[in-house]
Structure 1
Amino acid sequence: MPTTTYEARRGELLAYFDRTAAEAWARLTSDAPVSGIRATVRAGRERMRACLLSWLPADLRGTRVLDAGCGTGALAIDLARRGAEVVAVDLSPTLVSLARERAGRAPGPGRIAWLVGDMLDPALGCFEHVVAMDSLIHYRAQDVAAAVAGLAARTGRSLLFTFAPRTLPLAAMHAVGTLFPKRDRAPAIAPVAERRLRRLLAAAPGLAGWRIGRTQRIASGFYTSQALELVRR
């Protein structure tokens, strides 16, 4: 069950991504020209998506995969090209509509169900794999661990997610970011110390049957995110 702090933060993110920044986000995730700062973010996200995809089987036919926080749909489309039955869910109706439009007809042997909602909703069902790329980076460490445990309860093989690592360069970038006009700011990213996150994951009752696998940090200008893999024991 989502915590109260998770739910409060979720409301802020919905307001931002569905209204304030929908157009900017659509541009960032396209091939349209962007500013130098946003270009580093775009490059970092592309590298992170490639990293997460490299941790999944090349052939996903017959498997059900959750794209938890699908945004404008690039990852879901890649998963469908590998044959997965993808459930792509996001809080923002605007971004889901854009993702559906960009995908057009089925992008491969797989299928995509585009849904508006919360990635933690049990009604989404069960999956072999879950991927949450940059959809938990705005939450506190406790809420990240609780969300991961909730997702793991409906996952059979692997769970891949990213978090914002607590680093001095990232802290400096956040300080610089506060100088931008409020209309250009995203909800604050919540840096998480990797050691603390690992402790929280190890202590979560819902993750007793899981182990931490690979990890990879991607740093590209104003983009810094770290991927973590959980696999069934």
Structure 2
Amino acid sequence: MPAYDQTLTRVETYFDKTATQTWERLTSDAPVSKVRETVRKGRDEMRATMLDTLGDVRGKRILDAGCGAGQMTHELALRGAEVVAVDISPSLVDIARKRLPDNLHHQVTFGSGDMLSPDLGEFDHVVAMDSLIYYTAPDIGSAVSTLFQRTSGKIVFTVAPRTPFLMTFFTAGKLFPRSDRSPVMIPHAPKRLAGHIDGDLRSVKRVSSGFYISECLEAVQ
């Protein structure tokens, strides 16, 4: 998947070299700007939505694909799941590991690298919050298909929806690229994306909070 690999490299560079401190602050209780506060609120709502979609996770082995600073990992472990928390950014994985309470460490295996690696093993469910938002529809479809080979239950993930607001930013990002710009989100219409998914794709909920706009999708075989 050459396109996937190229995007993965850009995402790794951004989150591990450029934006680590920004994301560390955003995912903490530290004061942030009003704009970032809306992003934090939106991410909290989306995380709760995805957890509700997974349902009872006690005793389940779950891949937190793109775990970032570990908020989803923490919540899954609190609910009794056995979590494999993986992110392309070693710096963010270190933050997630340090933040996790000692009494939950026995339930979590941390790793840095590609969330699609077969070395991660098999899972009951996969959750991927905002970790596929930079990829094309064919790459998302391929990623979901790869994960389905080792997942018996749900794959719950988010995409940037095709709203006028996000399409404006996407178009501007393509017209005026900058070397220091974060990876550009690619908006998707769930109905069109479904044509690239081997399985059933259901739209769960769209969360819109200021500059955070994301749509939760559930894929099952």
Shorter-chain TM band: over 0.9
Q: Distance in 1 between matches of 2:38 and 2:107?
A: 31
Instruction: Give the structure-1-normalised TM-score.
Output: 0.88
Q: Distance in 1 between matches of 2:71 and 2:150?
A: 23
Deviation at 1:195, TM superposition (A): 2.1
Q: Distance in 2 between matches of 1:164 and 1:67?
A: 19
Q: Distance in 1 between matches of 2:171 and 2:33?
A: 19
| Pairs aligned (count) | 220
Specify which of 189, 213, 217 is matched with residue 228 of structure 1.
217
Indicate the residue corresponding to 1:17 in structure 2. 15
Q: Does 1:167 align with 2:163?
A: yes
Unaligned 5+ runs, structure 1: 202-206
Residue 30 of structure 1 aligns to a residue whose secondary structure is: coil
Specify which of 44, 67, 71 is matched with residue 68 of structure 2.
71
Indicate the residue corresponding to 2:191 in structure 1. 195
Q: Which amino acid aligns with 2:14?
A: Y
Which digits, 9 at most, give the CA deviation of each residue in 1:80-101, with x for residues without a partner?
Answer: 1111110000010100000000
Indicate the residue corresponding to 1:41 in structure 2. 39
Indicate the residue corresponding to 1:204 in structure 2. none
Indicate the residue corresponding to 1:139 in structure 2. 135
Residue 160 of structure 1 aligns to a residue whose secondary structure is: strand
Unaligned 5+ runs, structure 2: none
Residue 145 of structure 1 aligns to a residue whose secondary structure is: helix
Between the aligned residues of both structures, percent identity stands at 48
Aligned structure 1 segments of 4 or more residues deviating by more than 4 angstroms: 173-178
Whether contact under 8 Å (1:173, 1:222) holds in the other structure is: no
Deviation at 1:175, TM superposition (A): 6.4
Residue 137 of structure 1 aligns to a residue whose secondary structure is: coil
Deviation at 1:174, TM superposition (A): 4.8
Which digits, 9 at most, give the CA deviation of each residue in 1:123-171, with x for residues without a partner?
Answer: 1000000001100000111111111111111100111011111111222
Whether contact under 8 Å (2:170, 2:186) holds in the other structure is: no
Whether contact under 8 Å (2:77, 2:108) holds in the other structure is: yes
Instruction: Give the structure-2-normalised TM-score.
Output: 0.92
Whether contact under 8 Å (2:200, 2:219) holds in the other structure is: yes
Whether contact under 8 Å (2:67, 2:85) holds in the other structure is: yes
Indicate the residue corresponding to 1:102 in structure 2. 99
Q: Which amino acid aligns with 2:128?
A: A
RMSD: 2.2
